[in-house]
Chain A
Amino acid sequence: MKAKLEQIKTEALAQINSAGTLEELNDVRVNVLGKKGALTAVLKSMKDVAPEDRPKVGQMVNETREEVEKVLEEAIGKMEKAKREAQMKAEVIDVTLPAKKHNVGHRHPNTIAMEEVERIFIGMGYEVVEGPEVETDYYNFEALNIPADHPAKDEQDTFYINGDILLRTQTSGTQVHVMEQGKLPIRMIAPGRVFRSDEVDATHSPSFHQIEGLVIDKKITFADLKGTLAEFAKELFGEETKVKFRPHHFNFTEPSAEMDVSCFKCGGSGCRFCKGSGWIEILGCGMVHPNVLRMSNIDPEKYSGFAFGMGLERIALLKYEIDDMRLLYENDIRFLRQF
């Protein structure tokens, strides 16, 4: 019996060794371990074994089975691995073939700049507000301390619908709408489309965008204006950005200033972007004029505030090095795809 088992084992191992395919290995399993296999046959012949020897023989059969099974599993494992490797080898691709892109669309550079400005001010607690693009003279001029016959009205080259209704020349009128609602304090920005009768050329467009900002509260100071806009400039143009405030004049602010930022192309050493000066003019700002507060029923003795305004196109042109403003309104896909 022992010899028989030994023989079964030897034969089985030899067959396993010589097997070249998974099918052949499977045949070994069936022939040796299967229901009709050699080992099963041995077990079936157990009745011929003396009862006292049966446990021993049973153990021998099991040992042989385990041994054959183990070798068989290993062989199968090895072969499966080899097969998979061969398959993967056959499946090698040229990873440098072109990508299958989804062709997503692109945002307009103006919008990218606008969203960036909005994000910065929303982070500082400002609400985004909109105002009408077709506006009355009152909101566009008078309530901003630009009375009738003021030369500033001519300077802005206004498009008129009639004597009283016009296309807004600045987003500043939105300040007045918000102040009139009487909810204080105010921290708002107002992005939007504005219009001035400039002929279309590389640096002018009769329609462009501004972002206006307004803060009104008790004890707002010019120092707060400087600090806020310096933070803004760092966020927009980079941590190392420096700012410079120059006195200027706007009817609706006093004191007024223009803010320059250190040139973000050359860092301030002078280049063609900053025309060699190291500085780039970015926005106008100032403390809200007491007349403006008064006209919107805010007591300038109790409240003060600051306002600022910037041209979105200017920021987009500078940031993305666009050299012709007309490109912004042509909507050539080859232009838009670059943003």
Chain B
Amino acid sequence: MNTALSWIKAYVPQLECGDQEYTDAMTLSGTKVETYERLDKNLEKIYVGQILSIEKHPDADKLIVCQVDLGEKQLQIVTGAPNVKVGDKIPVVVDGGKVAGGHDGSPLPKDGIVIKNGKLRGVESYGMMCSIEELGSTRDFYPEAPENGIYIFPEDTQVGADAIEVLGLRDTVFEYEVTSNRVDCYSVLGIAREAAATFGKPFVPPVVEVKENGEKVEDYISVEVVDQDLCSRYCARVCTNIKIGPSPKWMQRRLAASGIRPINNLVDITNYVMEEYGQPMHAFDLDTIEGKKIIVKRAADGEEFETLDGQVRKLDSEMLMICDGAKQIGIAGIMGGENSKITDEVKTVLFEAATFNGANIRKSAKRLGLRTDASGKFEKGLDPRNAKAAIDRACQLIQELGCGEVVSGTVDVCAPLKELNRIPFDPVRVNDLLGTDISITTMLEIFERLELEYQEDTKELIIPSFRQDLEGIADIAEEVARFYGYDKIPMTLPSGEATTGKLPFKLRLEEKARDIAEFCGFSQGMCYSFESPKVFDKLLLAEDDQARNAIVISNPLGEDFSIMRTVPLNGILTSLATNYNRRNKDVRLYELGNVYLPKALPLTELPDERMQFTLGFYGEGDFFTMKGVIEEYFDALGLTKKLTYDPKAGKVFLHPGRQAKIIYEGVELGYLGEVHPEVLDNYDMGTKAYVAVLDMPSIEPFATFNRKFEGIAKYPAVSRDISMVVPKEILVGQIEEVICQRGGKILESYGLFDVYEGSQIKEGFKSVAYSITFRAKDRTLEEADVTAAMKKILNGLEAMGIELRG
């Protein structure tokens, strides 16, 4: 909301403060000033001059030489302006002064333009006459200014006067951020009331007295509200003998500062009252209304209606319409109809000031795709008491500004007004809540400034109707705090029972995942939780793949963000591809993020959110590099038992011969593998990539940070190397299983040191060599112990069809 400070000062006449002081004080009392701008910030030494004579420039056809009277002195000014004549009063900037911009209305330079004496085609010029654009404004806000020419003041303007002042530009426009609960502050009066309370000055709202012409409003119009649930009050008044013309300058200036273009007296008055009271008004041409009747009721589904912007709108049965005896004439609270709009020929006007249901207006405006100044105000939920005040104010202005006559009386269809809210005043609780020791006197003084009436006998505060936001003692505490000063409230730390800070186990596992991934060279990425359903095709998932059962967002930002991911790979692959295409080398990324698995679709209960630890890389490294990272992580989580890697992982997006399920104690914890070349193509990656996905909820039950020292071996170890010829299809994992199972208690470790396939080995076989280490905790091993253990192992291996080599 933008408002000129001069308009605020009109209702707080004793307010005197600088712009920054005002900004700070208002912000600290809760009416946040976003920015402010002085209208005269780049305007200096500009006065009202009168043209005494005009001569042709001797050397330029398009220039004229003017003698200008500035009161105290006369100046010669050369101009190319086509619109000036002798006797005109114009703004003149003199030597060393400043204007805001050029005459063409292009964007204003930050520091304005300095004007100096100079020669134009050899003739001295001691200043410049200004157009409205040079003064930093436009014809939108000064409709009387000529197109392409010097601004001309009214004849009665005093020569030599400060032109900035005369133009109403000695002012500052403040932009406020009003919070949604303070409906009353979406009005000049509301902000003025806050300003008065903030600075402790009297608040002087306008005195509304309407001079009526004695005719009866009931002879002109009747009102029937059919759908009272959507319209709690409808006030109608009639003005006759309307004379359309420009509104007075002071009104134009205030509207312009608020960003509203002055049009004519009638339109300006409705806009003015909307700004001043925060109550939207609508004006109908009474002569277009049939049956002398207004009916307020819901539209029917599928009806169409032409709004006054000439657009045809589709209606539905939840939209409230203003109708006359025969037809619809406006969409309530949003926009009037083309069929009843005001033209310059209007003779009689019907004013409407109503209170519509905020939520309904909001939804209707949304469905229509038509959010107007009026709907923006209605949707916040207005005070019905304000409607009557605003319509009277509008009629007062019509009469006072000579725009027309006011017919006596108001047609006022009003649901019973809610009684004023009462809140028990408990100063102890206020201080308890704030941690302060504010006296009752101070509190009562604050209430008085805010027009909250204190009833001593019942110890209650009576809340004015415009403060719908005040409901209980906590709200009262805020009012006290705001005007006592948030900055004066002390700073303490909570007393009471001590609590232990902690990170839950799940998050500690994630922290460890980050640590290990980073030790292994992976950097953390972050990807969106929603993605495109096309991802499933990119990952080659079958039409009936379980993973395609994803949660769909009903109002997504577009198809690319329309489903909640069920597989975490797309994010990491997309990120790897981004890096690849930017020619970054050897990129390793990981992500910790949820997948969202619905229990049933459509969703009836919340989905299973599963944290996934996803790793991916391209460049240096291979499948076993990734396997190493996983095992480092499992070591860090105390998963000390043997992991099984099952090559039949069944992941269609991975290379069929280079993938594995990771199994621990019979539970699948995740998978890893080389990305399928077709998937790489789908992501525009021209290099091999490897990924791993660990399902954190599956890992959590096995993880522990507890460790137990088992002593350092005292007795020597004995090692035996075995070399074997193994059928190709046997995995080394199977050999290791045999070693583990058969090695007995004394088996300490084993290590693969050679795998070879090639010319020296017979077809269909490979050579594999292991070093096996034995050790006893309590004695030095004897040859017999080791031989026995080895024999068991070798027997087991032979049973698998493995041949032992010498």
Contacts and interface: CB of A to CB of B under 8 A. Distances in A.
Interface of A: 102-108, 110-111, 115, 118, 121-130, 132-136, 149-152, 154-155, 159-162, 165, 167, 185, 187, 193, 195, 197, 199, 206-207, 215, 217-224, 226-228, 230-231, 244-249, 254-257, 287, 289-290, 304, 328-334, 336-337
Residue of A105, A195, A224 ringed by the most chain B CB atoms within 10 A: A105
Contact of B492 (A125, A126, A221, A304): A221
Interface of B: 27-30, 32, 179-182, 358-359, 362, 366, 379-380, 432-436, 469, 472-475, 477-478, 481-482, 486-487, 489-504, 506-507, 511, 514, 517-530, 551-557, 561, 564, 575, 578-579, 582, 584, 587-590, 593-594, 596, 602-603, 606-607, 609
A222 B489 contact: yes
Given A221-B434, A224-B493, 9 more contacts: A107-B518, A125-B500, A128-B502, A134-B607, A161-B551, A207-B529, A221-B433, A223-B436, A336-B524
B584 A334 contact: yes
Interface centre among B482, B518, B528 (most CB of A within 10 A): B528
B474 A287 contact: yes
Contacts of A121: 501
A199 B30 CA distance: 30
Nearest to B493: A227
Nearest to A136: B606
26 contacts: A105-B521, A105-B590, A115-B511, A122-B501, A122-B503, A125-B501, A127-B502, A134-B607, A155-B180, A159-B554, A165-B606, A193-B594, A197-B557, A222-B434, A223-B489, A224-B493, A224-B494, A245-B486, A245-B487, A247-B28, A247-B29, A255-B478, A331-B575, A331-B589, A332-B578, A336-B523
B362 A331 contact: no
Nearest to A330: B578
A102 B522 CA distance: 11
Contacts of A228: 493-494
Given A222-B433, A223-B491, A108 B587 contact: no
A34 B666 CA distance: 72
B180 A337 contact: no
Contact of A133 (B475, B529, B578): B529
Contacts of A110: 526
A244 B489 CA distance: 11
Given A206-B557, A222-B481, A337-B523, A127 B499 contact: yes
Nearest to A191: B507
Contacts of A159: 530, 553-556
A328 B526 contact: yes
Nearest to B503: A128
A134 B362 CA distance: 26
Give 4 closest A-B pairs by Cβ, nearest first.
A223-B435, A221-B435, A247-B30, A255-B478
B740 to A, nearest CB: 32
B490 A223 contact: yes
B609 A132 contact: yes
B435 A160 contact: no
B645 to A, nearest CB: 24
A196 B30 CA distance: 26
Given A128-B507, A161-B552, A161-B603, A105 B491 contact: no
A174 to B, nearest CB: 13
B481 to A, nearest CB: 5
Contacts of A247: 28-30, 478, 481-482, 486
A105 B493 contact: no
B492 A195 contact: no
B501 A333 contact: no
Given A125-B500, A217-B497, A224 B584 contact: no
Nearest to A301: B429
B501 A123 contact: yes
Contact of A332 (B498, B522, B554, B579): B579
Nearest to A254: B474
Contact of B588 (A105, A197, A224): A105
A25 to B, nearest CB: 40
B32 A246 contact: yes
B486 A162 contact: no
Contacts of A115: 511
Contact of B528 (A103, A207, A220): A207
B606 A132 contact: yes
Contacts of A256: 478
B362 A290 contact: no
A223 B492 contact: yes
Nearest to B585: A333
Contacts of A154: 362, 366
B630 to A, nearest CB: 15
Contact of A161 (B436, B494, B497, B553): B553
B461 to A, nearest CB: 15
A120 B589 CA distance: 28
Nearest to A221: B435
Contacts of A128: 502-504, 507
Nearest to B490: A223
A187 B32 CA distance: 31
Nearest to B181: A249
A268 to B, nearest CB: 14
B478 A118 contact: no
A156 B486 CA distance: 27
A190 to B, nearest CB: 11
B602 A220 contact: no
A323 B690 CA distance: 32
Nearest to B504: A128
Contacts of B602: 162
A134 B609 contact: yes
Contact of B434 (A123, A167, A223, A337): A223
Contacts of B486: 226, 245-247, 257
Contact of A108 (B492, B493, B525): B525
A331 B579 contact: yes
A227 B492 contact: yes
Given A134-B607, A187-B499, A108 B362 contact: no
Contacts of B552: 161
A338 B500 CA distance: 34
Contacts of A102: 519, 521
Residue of B472, B524, B557, B564 with most chain A CB atoms under a 10 A cut-off: B524
Contact of A107 (B514, B553, B554): B514
Contacts of A330: 575, 578
B526 to A, nearest CB: 5
Contacts of B606: 132, 134-136, 165
Contacts of B182: 249
A185 B503 contact: no
B474 to A, nearest CB: 4
Contacts of B527: 329, 331
A108 B502 contact: no
Contact of A104 (B499, B519, B553, B596): B519
B528 A206 contact: yes
A284 B469 CA distance: 19
B589 A199 contact: no
Nearest to B511: A115
A119 to B, nearest CB: 9
A222 B437 CA distance: 12
Contacts of A255: 433-434, 474, 477-478, 481-482
A155 B596 CA distance: 26
A225 to B, nearest CB: 8
A177 to B, nearest CB: 12
Contacts of B557: 197, 199, 206
Contacts of A287: 433, 474, 477
B561 to A, nearest CB: 6
A329 B575 CA distance: 9
Contacts of B481: 222, 247, 255
A138 B274 CA distance: 36
A199 B477 CA distance: 38
A126 B482 CA distance: 29
A329 to B, nearest CB: 6
